[in-house]
A and B are shown apart, each in its own frame.
Chain A
Amino acid sequence: MRTTIRTSIGLLAGALLAATAGAQTISIKGSDTLGAKLVPQLAESFKAKHPGVKFEIAAEGSSTAFPALANGTAQIGMSSRKAKSEEITAARAKGIKLNEVEACHDMITVIVNKGNPVKALTKDQVAKIFTGQVKDWSEVGGAPGPISVYTRNTSSGTYKDWQGLAMKGRDYAPGSQKLAGNEQIAQEVAKNKNGIGYVGLAYSKANGTQTVSIDGVQPVAANAKTFAYSRACYFYVPDSADATVKEFVEFATGAEGQGIAQRIGFVPNH
């Protein structure tokens, strides 16, 4: 009897230990573009297959990914831009070597208020609007009204990407308003009939807004190759990451993960 109790206690303890060993938390930090919709959904599907794995996702801008990776507070970094060499070095100096993995492709779409008759713009017009040379909708064929420009804030990878992709590296118009994320931009554009902003493709179907075709190309996933504002998004993973983390990244870049990406409105890797 006593042996039975002992064995069962032993077994129970073993099972508990095994369970706690399996209960692992993966902390993912960085880009708002990836972290607001795509990564949480990937995490949900991954959890369904690997019970016991927990996720902590913080999406506050690409620049937050690298310090977190270097400090060891994140196991995976999300970024909508390539890491800068300083960021890689900072991590390397702390003994962490980062590997770059292409997560998916994204298109930055220009959105305007639903009531705006302007449905097409040229690249040149977009550059002029965001640098502040064009200030009134009537200058680009719309109903008269002063243009309100909404941009992401300076920590965002999209903020910098947009400068390179759409504005030839020029500075944003001083009159532009810097908002925290894609959702906020969509919200303000939906409220302001003279608003214009840019959001990731996944956010382009927000209520009250509509996308604008650029140089005649509609911003839909099928046009990823010809659309003017396409870019790649990345995961950054330390070389020393454990098996579960690597498995998650493989899952995200594999067929199923890419399927999820496509469903949400990203463009899968080819």
Chain B
Amino acid sequence: MTDSERRTVPADHPFRRKGRSNEGLIKTFFQSNAALTIIILVLIILFLLREGIGFFPHYRDELAVYRRAGLEFVDISRKDLTAHEQMGSLLNRAYFAQVNAGCRRELQRSTEAAALANYVSETVDPAHDALERVKEAAGENAPPAELMEKLTAKYRSLLADALAGRAGKGLPATPHLSDGERRTLLDQLAARDPLSTDDPALVAELQAAVAAKQAESAAPYAAFREAVDAFQDSSSSLTLLISETGDTVKATKEAAVLHEIEVIKRGTLLEAAAKAKSADEKAQLEADAKAAVTTEPVNFAEAIAPVLARVPDWRAANAEMVKALAEVGPKLPATLADEKANRYLATFRKAEDAFSRELADTPAKLDAWKWDAPVGLGSTVLGFLTGRDWITGGEWQDFYGIVPLFAGSVMISLIALVFAIPFGVGAAIYTNQLAGQRQQRFIKPTIEFLQAIPSVVLGFVGIAVLGTFLYEMSAKDSLSWLPGFPIQQRLNMFTAGALLGLMAIPTIFTLSEDALNNVPSAFSEASDALGASKLQTIFRVTVPAAISGILAAVLLGLGRVIGETMVVLLVAGNRIQIPDFTEGLGTIFQPAHTLTGIIAQELGEVPFGSVHYRALFVIGILLFSIVLGINWSSQRLLKRFRIGHH
């Protein structure tokens, strides 16, 4: 504003004041809105940090008690025991797989007969239940005859339905039973007393046949069985030691924790007393506070002494297992006839070396262990970030390691992107470059409409439709060549990823479409002028020009997917374990837990202010940073590689 302009409207002129104040008001209004949003954001971050930051010192204190009380000492050997159990389980499974391989036909016959009997039992179940209840209610007296008769008639009609296969999916097929056997079985079911649920004679017979066949096919493997048993038994003295010592150290820990709780209790009560409204209440609370601490602080050095005195026993138990491991190898059969049994055996052999090294290291670890070594904050943070165990609400010790949760989140997001990128980007390219006006008007709102589906609804669809469909489909023999088929779990990463992919498609589609739209038309016109075909123009000119925008869209889609909670909580199967990648592509059909899911599942129920509560907040901070990082890099990407906008 120049001086001459200012002079045209006097400073105190009402017109000028009016215009200025209105403008100013509106400006202030928008300014304060923006400021408020920023303040709220800052407050959220501060709140997250305040709740989360206390986690590490608290967790360190917990770990310090874990060490001082000697739980850590027991866990050194417990790790061996767990590994030993896993090794034993492999041998055991190899043995049983081999034994059962010889009785496949008997097993099939028995299963089919049982399925048939089950089908009939389930169909008549309502009537059977009612009959039972009436009889129970009558007690000693005779049940009312008329009611019994009516229910029995109902039973008969249901039974007739069942035998004719009219209920549900119809009578299950029994390809391995002869027609005569099938008829006998149905006759036996028809003749069964309405009040009985006993298996028909034929089912029992077939089960007996399985047992006999199993005994027969086990006979040549008696030596194998003995070797497995000897191996499994070799851990018995360690098991005993762990359970005895475990009780001792747990008692130490509990005493320490109890003392701490009592001290805190005194503090809480005194605090409440200071704020009490009436003198009576105050006196009462103060008296409570005085009586709150009933135990002495624990002397850890004294408590650990008897445990450390038994180190020779631990060494002996270790030596026993080392010896058993060395002995079992030569006794095992070189190969087994059954392929699955062989696989278990091979896995055992492969793990043998690592296990024997682990066993050999243990005595040194036991000797080196010090109860009073300090627990550093750095190792606590490292333990949180690289810990492979997330164990909460346990009786022994809670561990907060996020690797399994992180792995679950990453795997599910990747699966989601595998679905969302081709669909989202493909649809964007088609809509923007190839579709006509009318198609565009239909496709765009339809895809964007996907976003309107609430995630909890998608979760239900996932459980009830997609999960069940995949689970049942995968059980078909004709599809068993696919990796991971038949699926073991109805709720798994794949189902969750597929649904999340669906949720990310609108984001990726809309933003990619925008990016394609932003490519100057001069690019494609020039390409056309040079004689390029439509497809050449799209894939050589337009898409490369828009690639930064498309990548940014994909990243934003990823941000949306990784932060999504409801679907993964409902559908991913909630198994806190690092996926077993040895299954190859089949890994995607395993269940998993996620960073978002664990917060949703556990936050509502943890005691306010506890270490567990804070751990969940730290995960919240981590998620926040991840999503922030993804969004930031997508912005950077957009700016840095924008073509045609210089």
**Which of A's residues lie within 8 Å of B, judged by CB?**
60-61, 63-64, 67, 85-87, 89-90, 92-95, 114-115, 117, 132-136, 138-139, 143-144, 146, 148, 153-155, 159-160, 163-164, 168-172, 174-180, 188, 191-192, 194, 207-208
Number of B residues contacting the other chain (C-beta, 8 Å)? Answer: 59
Q: Is the CB of B93 within 8 A of A155?
A: no
In the complex formed, the residue of B with least CB distance to A176 is: B575
State how many angstroms separate the Cβ of B245 from the closest Cβ of chain A: 13
6 nearest A-B residue pairs (beta carbon): A155-B605, A154-B393, A138-B96, A169-B395, A93-B268, A174-B577
| Cβ–Cβ < 8 Å partners of B99 in chain A | 138
Flag whether B604 is at the interface (Cβ < 8 A): yes
For residue B393, which residues in chain A have a CB less than 8 angstroms away from its CB?
154-155, 159-160
CB distance from B422 to the nearest CB of A (A): 31
Complex Cα distance, B268 from A95, in Å, reads 11
Q: How far is the CB of B570 from chain A (nearest CB, A)?
A: 9
Nearest chain-A residue to B104 (Cβ)? A144
Given contacts A138-B100, A177-B575, contact A63 B107 (CB under 8 A): no
- Cα A133 to Cα B96 with chains together (Å): 15
Cβ A67 vs Cβ B576 within 8 A: no
Q: How far apart are B532's CB and chain A's nearest CB, in angstroms?
A: 54
Q: Are B243 and A168 touching (Cβ within 8 A)?
A: yes
Q: Say yes or no for B466: interface residue by CB 8 A criterion.
A: no
- 16 A-B pairs whose Cβ atoms sit less than 8 Å apart in the complex: A63-B605, A89-B292, A92-B269, A115-B114, A133-B86, A134-B89, A136-B93, A138-B93, A153-B574, A153-B602, A155-B393, A169-B250, A169-B396, A171-B391, A172-B394, A174-B404
Q: How far apart are B281's CB and chain A's nearest CB, in angstroms?
A: 7
Given contacts A95-B272, A143-B111, 5 further A-B contacts (CB under 8 A): A86-B265, A144-B107, A155-B606, A163-B395, A194-B488
In this complex, what residue of A is CB-closest to B574?
Answer: A178
Distance to closest chain A CB from B548 (angstroms): 41
B480 interfacial contact with A, CB 8 Å: no
- Please report which residues of chain B, range 589-622, place their CB below 8 angstroms from some CB of chain A when the two chains form the complex: 591, 593, 601-602, 604-608
Check A170–B576 contact: CB distance below 8 A. no
Q: A95-B281, A175-B575 are in contact. Are A133 and B491 (CB under 8 A)?
A: no
Q: Which of A114, A154, A169 has the most CB of B within 10 A?
A: A154
Contacts of B261 in A (CB 8 A): 85-86, 89
B347 on the A face (CB < 8 A): no
Q: B573 near A: Cβ within 8 Å?
A: yes
Q: In the complex, are the beta carbons of B606 and A63 less than 8 A apart?
A: yes
B207 beta carbon closer than 8 Å to chain A: yes
CA distance A132 to B90 in the complex (A): 12
Given contacts A95-B281, A155-B606, contact A191 B468 (CB under 8 A): yes
Is B115 an interface residue when CB atoms closer than 8 A count as contact? yes
B234 contacts chain A at the CB level, 8 A cutoff: no
Asked whether, in the complex, the Cβ of B114 is within 8 Å of the Cβ of A117, the reply is: yes
Contact B396 A192 (CB under 8 A): no
Q: Is the CB of A191 within 8 A of B471?
A: yes
Residues B491 and A177 in contact, CB atoms below 8 Å apart: yes
B131 to A: closest C-beta gap in Å:
15
Determine if B489 and A192 form an interchain contact, defined as CB atoms under 8 angstroms apart: yes
Complex contacts, A63 vs chain B, CB 8 Å:
605-607
The answer for the CA separation of A174 and B401 in the assembled complex, in Å, is 13
Residues in B neighbouring A143, C-beta threshold 8 A = 100, 107, 110-111
In the complex, the answer to whether A177 meets B573 with C-beta atoms within 8 Å is yes
Is B271 in contact with chain A by the CB < 8 A criterion? yes
User: Complex formed: what's the CA distance from A192 to B576 in Å?
Assistant: 19
Smallest beta-carbon distance B513→chain A, Å: 39
A67-B607 in contact (CB<8A)? yes
Task: Tell me the complex Cα distance, A144–B103, Å.
Answer: 11
Contact B607 A86 (CB under 8 A): yes
B394 touching A171 by the CB < 8 A rule? yes
| CB of B236 closer than 8 Å to a CB of A | no
B96 touches A144 (CB 8 A): yes
Within the complex, the shortest CB–CB distance from A126 to chain B, in Å, comes to 15
Measured in the bound complex, the distance between the Cα atoms of B600 and A155 in whole Å is 12
